[in-house]
């Protein structure tokens, strides 16, 4: 069975809920680890005032008994503390769509008489449920020594300059100690000033997050169907995050400017091992993991809600009307790191379960130990002519 999840709930409704189906039985669940990722999602320079209201905690309603998964769907609930201010209140009409948001598109699609239903569901508040789901997927991956982390490499026009030999675990560690989750201290200082400048000018900024998965074995995903390619699954998962407008794997778009001899990762033999000394492909070739770190970059557009009004039309009167401000972030990028990690972890956990099968964690681990690696001794190629289509 494929791993899948659903979320439900609105930004200012009573709660967010999620159901995660497909994790095997016997996985120990660390609830505090879920809470730590939820707290990470609420921290970061550029966050809006709501982050001072919510203190997200998850309640597990099903699928976990005696601290372990049972193999049944896992039900999660996260309370919206801000709902108390909205319950029983008449809310002023919202009839002026904001450019860059779902407001107008959702009204056209669903025939809403007020724009708020689109706003409420499309809000990035929904990603709190994804982070909780992703935290469970991280715990599953950790049982196979697979680690997922991330850090900010760009905010607005400011780019980090990270040495290629800076180890990924150190990048993760430095990012978590930084206000904008950037492991480059000099770039971090300039990013912080760029955010401060945007706040002063009543504007917003986007940026780029680099996500990395370490310890992923070769052989996840497949080249035989378009929707089983690991690259496509990661792109879909990451592209579904609100405000994401681009996803690249490895050197991504930079490869388009190179010649073929400069764009690949050569294969070398070191004893029994087949190794790559570069990782331009970002750990995926032909839709299948190679065993190298899986590296993705995710581009977030600037938040569309700005203190500076933007041109729009009041849909109730047809008159040109500037947008009205709805509480939002000035820069969502630093606190989006755990969201990127969550969606990466989900896609990788799904691909790993597809590869391993098994109803229990112990079964999965037994099968994991038998996986082929990038070793000559694991391959059975024969240098003999073959007639493939007699």
Residue 79 lies in a domain: yes
- Identify whether the C-beta of residue 5 lies closer than 8 Å to the C-beta of residue 19: yes
Apex CA 92: angle with CA 87 and CA 93, to 5°? 120
- pLDDT category at 328 given cuts 50, 70, 90 is confident
Mean pLDDT of 280-299: 98
CA distance 168 to 178: 15
- The tens digit of pLDDT for each residue in 78-95 reads 999 988 888 888 889 999
Mean pLDDT of 293-314: 93
Mean pLDDT of 318-345: 92
Residue 90 lies in a domain: yes
- Identify whether the C-beta of residue 359 lies closer than 8 Å to the C-beta of residue 24: yes
Residue 385 lies in a domain: no
Residue 384 lies in a domain: no
Mean pLDDT of 362-382: 94
Higher per-residue pLDDT: 48 or 121: 121
Task: Reply yes or no on whether the pLDDT at 172 is more than 70.
Answer: yes
Distances (CA, A) of 69 to 3, 8, 26, 365: 14, 22, 5, 15
- pLDDT category at 54 given cuts 50, 70, 90 is low
Mean pLDDT of 294-317: 94
Q: What would the DSSP string read from start to end of 283-352?
A: TEETTEE-SSPEEEEEEEPPPS--SS--EEE-TTT--EEE-------S--TGGGHHHHHHHHHHHHHHHH
Tell me what pLDDT residue 53 has: 61
Range of the domain at 74: 4-378
User: Among residues 187, 236, 204, 211, which one has the least CA distance to residue 301?
Assistant: 204
Per the structure, the count of domains in the chain is 1
Residue 383 lies in a domain: no
- The tens digit of pLDDT for each residue in 136-150 reads 999 999 999 999 999
- CATH number for position 318: 3.60.150.10
pTM: 0.95
Average pLDDT of the chain?
94
- The tens digit of pLDDT for each residue in 184-240 reads 999 999 999 999 999 999 999 999 999 999 999 999 999 999 999 999 999 999 999
Residue 388 lies in a domain: no
Tell me what pLDDT residue 50 has: 53
Tell me what pLDDT residue 371 has: 96
- pLDDT category at 326 given cuts 50, 70, 90 is confident
Residue 247 lies in a domain: yes
Strand order of the β-sheet with 15-21 is: 4-8, 15-21, 74-79, 58-62
Residue 389 lies in a domain: no
- pLDDT category at 255 given cuts 50, 70, 90 is very high
């Amino acid at each position: 069975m494929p791993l899948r999840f659903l979320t439900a709930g609105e930004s200012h409704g009573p709660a967010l809920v999620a159901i995660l189906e497909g994790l095997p039985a016997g996985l120990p669940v660390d609830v505090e680890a879920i809470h730590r990722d939820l707290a990470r999602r609420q921290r970061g320079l550029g966050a809006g005032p709501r982050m001072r209201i919510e203190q997200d905690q998850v309640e597990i309603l099903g699928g976990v008994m005696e601290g372990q998964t049972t193999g049944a769907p896992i039900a999660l609930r996260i309370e919206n503390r801000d709902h108390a201010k909205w319950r029983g209140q008449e809310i002023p009409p919202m009839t002026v769509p904001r450019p860059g948001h779902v407001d107008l598109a959702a009204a056209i699609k669903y025939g809403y008489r007020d724009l708020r239903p689109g706003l409420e569901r499309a809000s990035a508040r929904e990603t709190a449920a994804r982070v909780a789901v992703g935290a469970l997927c991280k715990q599953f991956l950790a049982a196979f020594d697979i680690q997922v982390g991330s850090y900010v490499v760009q905010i607005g026009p400011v780019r980090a300059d990270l040495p290629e030999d800076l180890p990924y675990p150190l990048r993760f560690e430095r990012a978590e100690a930084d206000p904008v989750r950037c492991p480059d201290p000099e770039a971090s200082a300039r990013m912080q000033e760029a955010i401060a400048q945007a706040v002063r000018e009543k504007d917003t900024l986007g940026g780029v997050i680099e996500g990395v998965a370490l310890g992923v074995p070769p052989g996840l995903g497949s080249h035989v169907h378009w929707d089983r390619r690991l690259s496509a699954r990661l792109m879909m998962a990451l592209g579904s995050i609100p405000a994401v407008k681009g996803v690249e794997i490895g050197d991504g778009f930079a490869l388009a400017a190179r010649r073929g001899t400069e764009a690949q990762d050569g294969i070398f033999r070191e004893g029994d091992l087949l190794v790559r000394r570069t990782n331009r492909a970002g750990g995926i070739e032909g839709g299948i993991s190679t065993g190298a770190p899986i590296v993705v970059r995710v581009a977030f557009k600037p938040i569309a809600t700005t203190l500076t009004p933007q041109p729009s039309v009041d849909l109730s009167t047809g008159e040109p009307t500037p947008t009205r401000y709805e509480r939002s972030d000035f820069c969502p990028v630093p606190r989006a790191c755990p969201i990127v990690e969550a969606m990466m972890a989900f896609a990788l956990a799904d691909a790993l379960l597809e590869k391993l099968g098994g109803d229990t964690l112990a079964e999965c681990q037994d099968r994991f130990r038998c996986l082929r690696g990038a070793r000559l001794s694991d391959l059975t190629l024969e240098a003999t002519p073959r007639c493939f289509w007699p």
